[in-house]
Amino acid sequence: MSHLVILIPIALGLGALGLVAFIWSLRSGQYEDLDGAAERILIDGDEPAD
Amino acid sequence: MTCCDGHTATQTALSSSAETTGRLAEEELRAVSTILDDGLLNTVLVVPDMHCGGCISSIERAIIALPQVHKVRANLSSRKVSVTWDKDAGGGLAILKALDDLGFDHSQQADAEPVAKTVSNKGRQLLMSLAVAGFAAANIMLLSVSVWSGADAETAHLFHLISGLIAVPAVAYAGRPFFGSAFRALSARRLNMDVPISLAILLALGMGLAESLSGGSEAYFDACVMLLFFLLIGRYLDHMMREKARNSVDSLARLTAKGAVLVGDDGVLDYIALQDIKPGQHLRIRPGERFPVDGQIVEGVSDIDRSLVTGESESQIVRPGEHVEAGTLNLTGAVDMTATSDATNSFMAEITRMMETAENGRSAYVRIADRMASYYAPAVHLLALVTFLGWLFVTNGDWKASLYAAIAVLIITCPCALGLAVPVVHVIGANRLLKNGILLRDGSAFERLCEADVAVFDKTGTLTNGTPQLDHALYVRNEDKSTIARLAGCSSHPVARALARTYGTSSTCVLSDIKEVPGFGISACQNGKEIRLGRPSWVAELASRITPDADTATTAFAREGEPMAMFFLNDSLREGARQAIATISKSGLQTEILSGDRVAAVNRVADDLGITAVHAELTPAGKVERLQALQDQGLKTLMVGDGLNDAPALASAHVSMAPGSASEVGRMAADLVFTHASLNAVPFAHAIALHTKNLIRQNFALAIVYNCIAVPMAMAGYVTPLIAALAMSASSIVVVANSMRLNWLSPDVSVELPDRIEVINKTGTSAAIEAAPVIPNQPAIQS
């Protein structure tokens, strides 16, 4: 029982971390242009495009 | 084209100097840009030819190099480029020029949202809900698995409480799309799929809370959150499909004027936006522009192309005093006109109003999922009630046990599989169409498309290409061909363009003094002799010998004192038209032509295609009436058309398709838009629609079979949360797996689009025909 007190918060915390990361990626516009993102990796930018 | 710009500009008094043209174009660009908070301008340009990472990088590099540009971002998915620039630091035309220099076609998008918002708020909200539901479902499942695998009572109780703590806020947040829609349906005294969904989720949640607080052993938290997660997937896919289609349709070229050049009293030219045009104003329409509002020509002569407006395939001459409708394309000469209407009263606006009236009729269509819901929801609620009463009777009034059994019935019958049955099939079908260049604007178009009994076609621009093509030529000498190509290349008249295409544009011959005479043709000097290309009677003035049949030719060419060459052009059939009509007839649909063009021209095309039901010289209202007459006979209509004059008919038909070359209004009115040239898109879409219908029926059958097993179990009280979770996921997976078969089902082989064969093969059609069970052919489908 006692180890659960540590393990459950860890499990929930990791899940929440994933959720926060997803929400951040959504907010920062990473889902705006999925085709473009796939192609941009091939552009070797001397200067950042953005 | 560079050869003639200077000459044609000086030719008519109405043309303006280069600086004025530049200033007007700049004003036009600024008018369509959004002003940001910091005073910078944001312009969204549609660049349809952007295809790869190379395009992105060359566009961004070229534009960011300009000093006035602060930020540029190309979006490959929506084929748009968003540029933020400072109008004080330099002109916006340089941006357009940079794109021109790279060889990209572009058009400006008026009242655009900045590219940063291409994923709409609704899509974003659904995605966030999906993420929250996914997080909750994963964690609650983790806790549930340990309960099911035999945790002791104390741990199970703790786990239930934690699950409840996660589930309540998750359901409150992620369930909003369903609760809102169910509430709206109930307040309108209707039942839709969301009513039983919301009820099941809320009851499961409430029962779980009651159980875990009272220390009970069974909680349905996992079932309720998982349900939400699966259903949100369906909802999001459905939304994505529409969004994608809307974006693609947006990125097709714009065909309406966004404004016009106003001629002030003092002769000063100014660019004004469409909504600022008032009746009585003098407007100047340059060649290649469309008339923004209805008006009367006051000065200048030009050829105009009404094909998108009335369906007439041949261009006409307009002279001062004549009336032109908004949307007509000005071909050869600059003209001044007096506006007789403003933007809200023009011909185009009238068409829009007719479309709205027509659309009201169609909104009566009830989607198959909602039709199912109207039987399903009452049945489920009745079953739950029967269970409750039955248990009360059997257990002698143990209302708590009875209530649990009733709720278990509601949860287990919750239309998880039903909620996925339709959207998954539609999304896969829409993707399949998209790969073949067909955009689907609304999933229910699939349902309506398979019900069609009559395929009704417009002629100009739909069955035909809408642009003339050289049929045959007489007396053309080989040494003249390059001269003709050069001369024809200087005009934007469709006939000249067709000749330039035929004879090639790579000619190097030297011409001087090139003049375009609106209504007649184009003339020039070569080696001191005048040459003319245009109307036969006008060219005949130069020619040494005239053949008696000269007047039957579409256009002619002659060199001063030499014999005349004649060209015969007609509006050629669209690629694949014959095959498409044959396939459509074979699949049991009647075919019919409704055209605004003259009887002779329509009959020629009808004879060629073997269509016997022909109606010509119809007004837009006439087309709607004819469709109405067909619908009164109980026939469902599929309308395929492109013009402004077709738009009301497109909106009033049971289901409609438009080519990508259609007028904007036509594209907006159509359920499906096909972007490849071939008309084979019509039978192809029809075949795919029949497959989706079959798959949806199978999915419903699977869901019903599942219910037939699960409901008696639930009524008998044998369902535990573990069984509910297993049964619900299993039924959803079966339905999704069955829907995936649409990727391999082959439509009638003969409708493969010739220009996309490689894509079709890549999706595995040919290889998978033997492997996947092929759906029975059309006769079975129509039964």
Q: Considering only CB atoms, which chain B residues are within 8 Å of A29?
A: 116
Residue type, B471: D
Residue B750 has pLDDT above 50, yes or no: no
Interface touch B60/A49, C-beta < 8 Å: yes
Indicate the average pLDDT of chain B.
Answer: 79
Among all residues of chain A, which has the CA nearest to that of B136? A15
Give the active site residues of B: 458
Query: Given CA atoms B196, B197, B203, B204 in this order, what sign does their dihedral have?
Result: positive
Query: Given CA atoms B624, B627, B629, B632 in this order, what sign does their dihedral have?
Result: negative
Of A4, A26, A29, the CB nearest to B128: A26
Interface touch A40/B60, C-beta < 8 Å: no
One-letter-per-residue 3-state SS of B430-495: HHHHHHCCEEECCCHHHHHHCCCCEEEECHHHHHEEEEEEEEEEECCCHHHHHHHHHHHCCCCCHH
Interface touch A23/B128, C-beta < 8 Å: yes
Specify the pLDDT at position B88: 80
Q: Which value, in Å, is the radius of gyration of the alpha carbons in chain B?
A: 32
Q: Considering only CB atoms, which chain A residues are within 8 Å of B115?
A: 32
Q: Considering only CB atoms, which chain B residues are within 8 Å of A47?
A: 64
B17 to chain A, any CB pair closer than 8 A? The answer is no
Of A11, A33, A50, the CB nearest to B75: A33
Q: Considering only CB atoms, which chain A residues are within 8 Å of B139?
A: 11-12, 15
> Using beta carbons and an 8 Å cutoff, which residues of A are at the interface with B?
1, 4, 8, 11-12, 15-16, 18-19, 22-23, 26, 29, 31-36, 39-43, 45, 47, 49-50
Residue type, B579: Q
* Residue B261 β-bridge partners: B271, B284
Of A26, A31, A39, the CB nearest to B76: A39
Strands B655-659 and B637-640: parallel
Specify the pLDDT at position B171: 94
Q: Considering only CB atoms, which chain A residues are within 8 Å of B167?
A: none
Interval B215-231: pLDDT, tens = 777 778 888 888 888 88
Q: Considering only CB atoms, which chain B residues are within 8 Å of A17?
A: none
Size of chain B, expressed as the number of residues it contains: 783
Interface touch A39/B75, C-beta < 8 Å: no
Where is average pLDDT lowest: B400-414, B500-514, B676-690, B727-741? B500-514
Task: Tell me the residue ranges of DSSP E strands in B595-753.
Answer: 613-615, 637-640, 655-659, 672-674
B158 to chain A, any CB pair closer than 8 A? The answer is yes
Interface touch A33/B76, C-beta < 8 Å: yes
What six digits make up the tokens of B170? 């998750």
Of A15, A42, A49, the CB nearest to B139: A15
Top residue of B71, B162, B229 to mutate, by most chain A CBs within 10 Å, is B162
| Averaged pLDDT for residues B497-521 | 77
Residue B766 has pLDDT above 50, yes or no: no
Residues 160-189 of B with CB under 8 A from A: 162, 166
Interface touch B135/A1, C-beta < 8 Å: no
Q: Considering only CB atoms, which chain B residues are within 8 Å of A35?
A: 76-77
Residue B623 has pLDDT above 80, yes or no: yes
Interface touch B77/A32, C-beta < 8 Å: yes
Q: Which residue did the predictor score with more confidence, B410 or B308?
A: B410
Question: What is the percent of chain B with per-residue pLDDT over 70, rounded to a whole number?
Answer: 87
Among all residues of chain A, which has the CA nearest to that of B165? A12
Residue B481 has pLDDT above 90, yes or no: no
Under 8 Å between Cβ of B419 and B193: yes
Interval B624-666: pLDDT, tens = 889 889 988 988 899 998 877 888 888 888 899 998 887 777 8
* Pick from B305, B308, B348, B340: nearest CA to B321: B340
| Averaged pLDDT for residues B91-106 | 83
Residue B726 has pLDDT above 90, yes or no: no
| Averaged pLDDT for residues B161-165 | 90
Residue B776 has pLDDT above 70, yes or no: no
Q: Of the segments B83-97, B125-139, B763-777, which one has the largest average pLDDT value?
A: B125-139
pTM: 0.73
CB-CB neighbours of B519 under 10 Å: 17
Cβ-Cβ contacts under 8 Å for B157 (sequence gap 6 or more): B212, B215
Where is average pLDDT lowest: B337-351, B564-578, B686-700? B337-351
Q: How far apart are CA B454 and CA B262, in angstroms?
A: 46
Specify the pLDDT at position B116: 39
Residue B502 has pLDDT above 50, yes or no: yes
Q: Is the complex ipTM higher than 0.95?
A: no
| Band of pLDDT at residue B398, cut at 50, 70 and 90 | confident
Interface touch A50/B75, C-beta < 8 Å: no
Specify burial of residue B148 (Cβ count, 10 A radius: 0-12, 13-18, 19+). Answer: middle
Residue B268 has pLDDT above 50, yes or no: yes
B591 to chain A, any CB pair closer than 8 A? The answer is no
Of A15, A42, A45, the CB nearest to B138: A15
Interface touch B124/A26, C-beta < 8 Å: yes
Q: Which residue did the predictor score with more confidence, B332 or B363?
A: B332
Interface touch B76/A32, C-beta < 8 Å: no
Among all residues of chain B, which has the CA nearest to that of A1? B155
Q: Considering only CB atoms, which chain A residues are within 8 Å of B75?
A: 32-33, 36
Q: Of the segments B221-230, B244-253, B266-275, B495-504, which one has the largest average pLDDT value?
A: B221-230
Residue B565 has pLDDT above 80, yes or no: yes
Top residue of B47, B61, B229 to mutate, by most chain A CBs within 10 Å, is B61
Residue B16 has pLDDT above 60, yes or no: no
Specify the pLDDT at position B166: 92
| DSSP letter assigned to residue B285 | E
